[in-house]
Amino acid sequence: MKKLLTLVLITRPNQVLLGMKKRGFGQGRWNGFGGKVEKGETILEAAKRELFEESSLKSDDLKEIGLIDFEFVGDPQILEVHVFTTSKFEGEPTESSEMRPQWFNVKDIPFDTMWPDDHLWFPLFLSGTKFKGYFLFEGHDKILKQTLDKVDSL
Ligand SMILES: CN1CCN(c2cc(NC3CC3)nc(N)n2)CC1
């Protein structure tokens, strides 16, 4: 059983916009913006919606750059995360109930307070390389198995 989720990474020259997750899944970690895909919406529509809900930013230019499957030992639910990015957006990053946004220089990305998979695939996202990944987690901090491949199309 797969659960469809989205992740949006907003960039500007030499910087990435991350949000500190204030509650729920991933609380206490910096991440891009995203959430569940609801019935009746496309994955892209869900990505745009969650971006606006969590950061107040709008973009019609989201490009899918990654597809990651996450599995957790003992849990049959696989998370299928569709990763999008853009440097074309409108609005000012604004704190929401879910996220506290902050710009980070690419050389100072706070991987120590992000999901453990991020430092493995961020370099691909930052270099504009499309990728497919699989990570088997034990709990929320330990990666037991992983695959990460560059792809021409998702
Ligand atoms: C709303 N979604 C939740 C999942 N998510 C994840 C997950 C993730 N690792 C998985 C072990 C949890 N790593 C990043 N960077 N994002 C994107 C946003």
- Nearest ligand 1 atom, CA 118: 15
Per-residue confidence (pLDDT) for residue 131, from 0 to 100: 98
Plot region of 138 (φ>0 → left; ψ -120 to 50 → alpha; else → beta): beta
Cα-to-centroid distance, 88 and ligand 1 (Å): 23
Mean pLDDT of 124-139: 98
Q: Are 84 and 7 in contact (CB under 8 A)?
A: yes
Q: Which residues line ligand 1 (CB under 6 A)?
A: 5, 7, 25-26, 31, 34-35, 70, 79, 81, 115, 117-118, 137
Per-residue confidence (pLDDT) for residue 125, from 0 to 100: 97
* Its pTM surpasses 0.90: yes
Per-residue confidence (pLDDT) for residue 118, from 0 to 100: 98
Question: Atom 1 in ligand 1: which residue has the minimum CA distance?
Answer: 35
Predicted confidence (pLDDT) per residue in 25-74, tens digit: 999 999 999 999 999 999 999 999 999 999 999 999 999 999 999 999 99
Predicted confidence (pLDDT) per residue in 23-32, tens digit: 999 999 999 9
Cα-to-centroid distance, 115 and ligand 1 (Å): 7
Among 6, 13, 5, 7, smallest CA distance to 88 is for 13
Mean pLDDT of 123-138: 98
Please report the ipTM that was assigned to this predicted complex.
0.98
Among 24, 28, 30, smallest CA distance to 7 is for 30
Question: Atom 14 in ligand 1: which residue has the minimum CA distance?
Answer: 115
Per-residue confidence (pLDDT) for residue 1, from 0 to 100: 84
Cα-to-centroid distance, 66 and ligand 1 (Å): 12
Q: Are 55 and 101 in contact (CB under 8 A)?
A: yes
